[in-house]
Amino acid sequence: MDAEAGTAPAMRSPERWLAVLRIAVGVWFAKALFTKLSVTLLWGFLPVPSASDRWLHVMPLLVGKYAEGNPVGFFRDFMQHTVIAHSGLFAQLTAFGETAVGLGLVFGCLTALASGIGLFLVVNYGLAVQWQGSAQQGFHYMLITSLIVILAARAGRTWGVDGWARARRPGSWLARLPLG
């Protein structure tokens, strides 16, 4: 307790703790870089990132399992008739989406955009698995809450490219974008 004011002392450097949260959530997403992406040779010589063969194989199996018992009818139908039917496309989208969100959050670059996309992904993942128990519900609830805080606080402005651009290049396109 602060003896003079009669209140508890304020948190020290809350913007830094928000940056720590941003980076931790970003690392969780960035793991897709190693678990869901690989390099493919386009035309036999041009290396480009793409969803790994493992992810292309596993993703429709997981979605089928999640859809099988899902009580949310519209989302079950979406998973069965759209996601599984176009599993190659959705495997690419999730692999690239998670990687982009992870890198954006870790480096604090376009943080609002990255956390918004991450929020979209996590809400969909949560709808897919929420029926499997309270552990799934709690995990997705905490991840959604963390992403909302990161988005609302513009957490990339501390220890991030967003803050660096605003401080050193205030007239640049990156500093003027409302996405950071």
Alpha-carbon gap, residue 55 to 111, rounded angstroms: 26
State the DSSP string of 65-107: HHHHT---HHHHHHIIIIITTTHHHHHHHHHHHHHHHHHHHHH
Whole-Å CA distances, 4 to 7, 10, 70, 79, 103 = 8, 13, 56, 59, 44
Give the predicted TM-score (pTM) of the model. Answer: 0.87
What averages of pLDDT result for each successive group of 10 residues across the chain (180 residues)? Answer: 62 90 97 92 89 96 94 95 97 97 96 96 95 91 96 92 88 77
At 63 the pLDDT is 97
Q: List all residues 6 or more positions away from 141 whose beta carbon is below 8 Å from its beta carbon.
A: 126
- 112 touches 180 (CB < 8 A): yes
Name the residue type at position 135.
A
CB 128 within 8 A of CB 58: no
Cα-flanking dihedrals φ and ψ of residue 49, to 5°?
-75, 145
Distance separating the N- and C-terminal Cα atoms of the chain: 36
State residue 1's pLDDT score: 47
